[in-house]
Structure 1
Amino acid sequence: MTELDLLVRARRVLTPQGERPASVGVVGGRIAEVGPYDADRSAAAVVELDPELALLPGLVDTHVHVNDPGRSEWEGFETATRAAAAGGVTTIVDMPLNSLPPTVDVEALRVKRAAAEGRVHVDVGFWGGAVPGNGADLAGLHAEGVFGFKCFLLHSGVDEFPPLAGDELAAAMRTVHDLDSMMIVHAEDADTIEHAPRSHGRGYDGFLRSRPQVAETLAIQQVIALAETTGARTHVLHLSSADAIGVLARARADGLRLTVETCPHYLSFLAEEVPDGATAFKCCPPIREAENRERLWRGLADGVIDCVVTDHSPCTPELKRLDSGDFGAAWGGIAGLQVGLPAVWTQARRRGFELGDVVRWMAQRTADLVGLRHKGRIEEGCDADLVAFAPDDAFVVDARALAHRNPVSAYHGRPLAGVVRRTWLRGQEITGNDPNGRLLRRGER
């Protein structure tokens, strides 16, 4: 038998078939075998995990804003991917906006890849953008390997990535269908938010009123209608409003190619508990009330919500307006890439979910969403992306100790369950010193 490059033994191995003691053998960066715990196998390196550690597949986070190039003072490929690895995430897919230029044509994609080359500690794929006037660019981006196309239905927060509306959105979705790609949508209704009360000052209630739940429901209904008429595969980003779950469930029951994500911050935080001036909690759509949070958890349990991703969207402390605490002026985005796994596990275990559920939401289904069938699972033939996780250990988040660029996080001071002890990418342990991640293209192994 071929000697293994690496053999990892663990009493708790999370496989697609369930949790069990096993040994995982690696050859050439891929999982060659998943055998009995005490398998008598020769390997160049053998790792025996302590009994309290679980071996998980590396997480796949399909919603990350790296902001590099152009706004690398907000974040960057080196810092974002180091934070990902520290949090058990071995693959990210980078969003097309907040970087300059935005990824709306082939040349911009090449600029972004050049900025990432040789600087990533985990594997990185890229979304393309769908904006007014770039319909002719979508086929070229698709040919260059983007995993799909993101659009907004209202102002994105940056002027260089404008929203699609009406006929433009319909045309883009027809193109996406013809390419056999996917449209991923920030679904909030522009008109509803335009007529909502303006957000200003230190009170979170005012910000919450400025992004009402009905804005999500109306936008999702529009997206569903276009998905029906165009046949485009469609994905709803960062669902925060549980009011939309019924609409989504009916669309899924009707057979639409529709998937849905939510985020750790919507499953963790409560609007009632956000302190005045705590702009680290500002994100769009917003964190909502306790009753809404519990309905999101039921949506996950029922399978209406497919997966959980971080929507890691950091910025500089200045842009968060930490000095004034003005929710109206602060940038909307939460930095959570490194703590997404423990944040979800902390809440999931309280509700009776198993570690395997978290793996399914944050690794397997996200990998499937973007067609990375060789990621997100401990199975023969898959990439040996592995995480040693201590589910019963706990820690208190210190934003200053996190690996992303700026020490701002809504999770600062929050106690969480679950600690990532070690992370391997294709069988090589990630140390944070040598960036060995690859740049991924759709359809390539």
Structure 2
Amino acid sequence: MTAVRHAVEDLLRELAPQVLGALVRRYGVFDACEDAVQEALLAAALQWPDEGVPDSPRGWLVTVASRKLVDQIRSDSARRRREETLALATPQAELLSHAADAVPSTDRDDSPALLFLCCHPALSPASRIALTLRAVGGLSTPQIASAFLVPEATMAQRISRAKQTIKASGTSLAMPEGADFAERLAAVRHVLYLVFNEGYTTTSSADLTAPELSAEAIRLTRMLHRLVPDDTETAGLLALMLLTDARRPARTGPSGELVPLAEQDRGRWDRRLIAEGVALISRTLPCGQVGPYQLQAAIAAVHDEAEDTDATDWPQILALYDLLRQFGPNPMVDLNRAVAVAMVHGPAAGLGLLRELEGDKHLTRHHRLLATRAHLLELLGEHKTAADAYREAARRTTSTPERRHLIARAHRLEGRA
């Protein structure tokens, strides 16, 4: 039964944006339609595992959601303003009396347009992420709140405000055009990148990763890549996700402890994802202007293709980081580049770059700056100083697995000092 429920959940996540797109295109009110679709998804999640998936699951969801939408209008007098708004989009009499019969068409998939709508420029990055995961990803509010470790009520308010902002903007379910399309495409890529990163290394959790977030980011990026197959940065983003996620099985030990890249069992890496990612970035790099996602994917590919840390082509990685820096200041890029410099020119050279980064307001108290310094000091054999840096980094991180890893490093070095 567990396998059946997982299969149903996967299907519902795939269908959620298609159903919402059909309703929004028919009735024109994003917030009310989104509420109705969530109710339909919940009904399906409860019924389908026991009663079986309907012959036309998308049609079933559209029909149920349409009826839920009408029920909301009929039963909740406090939402009369929503009823008046609906009347602008479609005659109220038709909506109320023929909703069950005049079900929106399910032939058209508006998922890409919905994804762009959820990344509207009027929304904050946090709101874009939350709304994308709920409206396009099909995740429930409790699931999103749990993934980002915020109270459910807080996430519900964030999503509600985002929907009201979309409503107030008057934006229709249509793909932006021209310069607006390029700008919104960049915003969509950034949102998916942030979702993936939070899933790959959670910022504040008892677990190192949240696989459902990374998997959803990959699914949506695949959809975006199908929409714009010639966009090299979208292809680069997908390659980056695949090449990075391929290492997930080896990133944690039996008890969920963090295993750093240099110590991972590379036999546990997902070779299928690596092959797909390498092929994708290999096709993409020669085809157009190189961007930051492509360069990050290329760096990931160099790591993934090496048999072990010693066989890694660090000079190539350093050259790629040098190119990446040309796209503007990024303290995390500079931090990673310092590691590459250390691997090519020695730990002392890397530590020299870290001293230059200490004045960066984004890094000065970040645990990763301290953890990187500790690692390079360890390579130099300065075990006592390295242990102190590991302990300070452990105090500053909000990730439980990272804290345990850093403390364990400090303990090990103290035994050598």
TM over 0.5: no
Structure with larger Rg: 2
Of structures 1 and 2, the one scoring higher in RCO (CA 8 A, sep 6+) is 1
Alignment TM-score, normalising by the size of structure 1: 0.27
Please, what TM-score do these two structures have when normalized by structure 2?
A: 0.28
Q: Which has the higher helix share?
A: 2
- Structure with greater proportional strand content: 1
